[in-house]
Structures are given as structure tokens and as C-alpha cells.
Amino acid sequence: MIQSVYMVFTRRLSYFFFFLFAAVCNLAANTDSLKIELTKATSKEVIFSILIKMSDEYTGKSSDTSLMYANKALDIANNIKDKKTIGKALYNVGYIYNSMYDDQHALEFFRKSFLLRKQIGDKEGISESSNAVGNSFYFLGQLDSAEFYLNYALGVSKEYKIEKEEAAALFNLGNVVKQQGKVDNALEYYLKALKISNKLDDLNGIAKCHNNIGLIYFGWDKYDSAIRHYKITYEIRKNETEKKGAAIILNNMGNVYWRWSKYDQAIVCYQKALEIFEKNDYKRGVASCQNNIGLIYENLVKGDNSINENDANFRKALEFHGKALIVNTILGDELQIARGYNNIGNVIIKIVENKINGKYTSSWKQTAESRAKIKADTLSRAFDRALLYYKKSSEIMRRLSNKEGIASILNNIGRVYFL
């Protein structure tokens, strides 16, 4: 199974139409400067503004520090007793929780922000907070509630011509209806969001829309269209200071080329993405690319290849699946660990079959008599090694109650016993 890391990394990128990317090397300089400003600030309003900026600086880099400054800003806002400022501070705390994947707490603060902003008639704030509430419900899997709040955000933003939030609501609604299986409707929402983003010259919004449109075309097996939209996204992402966004798109492009059977182009994309993920120490992306490269090498087997050429490809596949397994073990991702064991078992079988083909020709499976002859060969002992990996995978899948995974592995085990 090819792996995508888009949803993992781009959670904040994909569901809000603003984000702050600061180069890591500039973080200390920026925060030091803000700390100096903070010591000189005398009014609560200025202190509040600086605390919000400091919270932004640490978002995505140190969640605890970011949350600390966000809560300090909220305390200042409560002391000021200005409801608009409190609404902004509540939203900011929710935003930090969202970046930490703590959806329940994010929803709690976003809703407080929404209700307060609605009470004072802060139209831009209302559309911003209702967008955020809708997204929190989306992440929590409550799609009907998500759709309600996002439509509310869309209505307010359209009525008061808050185009940034209108584009955000359209994009977010696209995600919701896509999850509901209404892919045609999702495409309409993304195209409308893209039109507004182009008007606003919002590069981040443009990139997100093209990426999600590419995902839809990929799902429809319209590979030319998918690649065209991904390339537009990549041209934007590659110029950002933070390069992980570009790597994700390269991984997505690799997935298209893989399904398109353009394996050489797929490997190029995956390897470029892998290099970026490794430089950024983004382990989930590293494991995804390693797994995908392994799958490509498994499928580079051709009828006109020699036994040695096929064996070399299988060995490469085994190498990359092994690397992915190590990374996923470090991450503690049980599902991917189970898939990794299964992938390794599959490759071991292919290595053995390839060797047997070289020794006995490919007709060895045709009769029970020929299969019995092979079982007496020492080569067949490697099948037992494959079974060990399948059983490890099966144990995890059972623990996770993953019925699809269990069925797939049982099929693989049955195939070994049939041999």
C-alpha cells in the first residue's frame, strides 16, 4: 500500500488559510527581540500583542512554550476586559491546541471564541472562529456539526465580503463533503476557493487548493490532471523556507507515477522527498518514502530481466522496507509496523521464488509433484522466515482489530502453505 503523508503534516496548512513559517535559525533572534520589547512595554494592549506574536513564533516548534504565551495573552485580555481582545485570545489558545492535535481542547476554546465574538457582533471574528469550530468537529469525525459551522462561516464571510474567510470556508467544506463521499461537490468547493485565492494572490491558499484538486483527480485515475495540479503546488512549496511541504507534494507525485506504472519517475520523486524529510528529521515522511521506494523495487520485475536483475531489485526492496520498519518502530506506529512485517514477508517470498525459477524454471508451481520437489530443496526454508514476519504482522493486526489487515495476512500465510 502506497503511503501518503499529506494529512499528517499539513493539518494546519490545509485547514486554515494562514500560517507562519519561520526559519529555525531565526527563531532565537525573533524571540529575543520580542522579549526585549516585552520588558519595555507598559500598556496591557502592547503586552498582549507581543505575547500573541511570541506564541506564534513557537507554534510548531515548542508547543508547551507556545501554549504558555497564549495563556498569558488570555490572562492579559481578561484583565483588559475588552471582549474583542478576549475573543482573539481564546481563538489563539484553540489554535495552539489544534497544532498539538488536541482537538477536544481546541474545540472548547474555539467555541468560546465564537460565542463571544457573536455576542459583540465581530463579523470577521465570527467567520474565523466558526471556521475553526467546523474544522475541530471535522477532525473529531463529527461531519454534520462541521458542515453546519462551516456553512455558517461561509454565510457570514460572503455577506460581509470577508474573502479570506470565505475561501477558507469553501476549502474546508470541500474537505468535509469529500469525507462524506461527495467528491464532485468537493471539487466544486475547491475550485471556488481557488478562484478567490487567485484573486487575493494567496500563494498558500492556491497551493492547498491545487493539491486537493490533484488528490481528487488521482482518486479518479486521471493521472495527467493530478500531476498538473501537483506541479503547481510544488512550484509554490519549493520556494518556502520550510521544505517539508514540497517533500509532501513530491511524495504525492510519486504516488501518481507509481499507480501510472511510471516507476522510474516515481522513484525520482520519492527519493527527492526522502532527502528533504531526512534533512528535516521528519520521521513519518521518511518512513513513508522508504516504504514506497521498497514497493517500487518490488514491481521493477520484468519478464525480460535476468534472475540476477530481479534479485537485485528484490534486495533493494527488502532494504527499504527494513529501513521503514526501523523508523516506524521508533515512532511506535503499530499499524505501519504490522504493514512493514507484511511487506518484508512478501519480498522474502519473491526472493525465494525468483531463485527457484532460476534453478527449476517458472513451471515449478504447475503440479503438486513439482511443488513437493521444491519443498525438499533447502531454498524452501526461507518460506519459514516469511511466515515468521507474517505471524508478527498478524499478531499486531489482531491487537488493533484491523479486519482488512488480518484478512490480507491470512491470505499471504495460506499462499505460503500452498507452496
* Tally of CB atoms within 10 A around 43: 9
pLDDT of residue 364: 55
Locate 34 and state its grid cell.
Answer: 520580542
What's CA 370's distance to the chain center, in Å? 47
pLDDT of residue 13: 40
> Is residue 363 over pLDDT 80?
no
What value does the mean pLDDT take over residues 313-329? 96
Query: What is the overall mean pLDDT for the chain?
Result: 88
What value does the mean pLDDT take over residues 5-12? 46
Q: 22-31, 104-113, 129-138: lowest mean pLDDT where?
A: 22-31
Helix axes 307-331 and 334-360, enclosed angle (nearest 10): 170
How would residue 27 be classed by pLDDT, with cut points 50, 70 and 90?
Answer: low
pLDDT of residue 305: 73
For residue 235, CA distances in Å to 161, 229, 346 come to 30, 10, 37
Closest C-alpha among 47, 52, 57 to residue 69: 52
Tell me the per-residue pLDDT of 373-413, one tens digit each, with 9 for 90 and over: 666 566 667 788 999 999 999 999 999 999 999 999 999 99
Q: 75-84, 203-212, 300-309, 345-354: lowest mean pLDDT where?
A: 300-309
How would residue 48 be classed by pLDDT, with cut points 50, 70 and 90?
Answer: confident
Please count the CA atoms within 13 angstroms of the CA of 125 that sit on its side-chain side: 23
pLDDT of residue 376: 59
pLDDT of residue 165: 97
For residue 215, CA distances in Å to 188, 198, 230 come to 14, 19, 8
List, in order, residues 6 or more apart from 375 with CB less than 8 Å away: 419
Q: What is the DSSP string of 44-103?
A: HHHHHHHHHHHHHHHTTT-HHHHHHHHHHHHHHHHHHT-HHHHHHHHHHHHHHHHHTT-H
> Is residue 358 over pLDDT 60?
yes
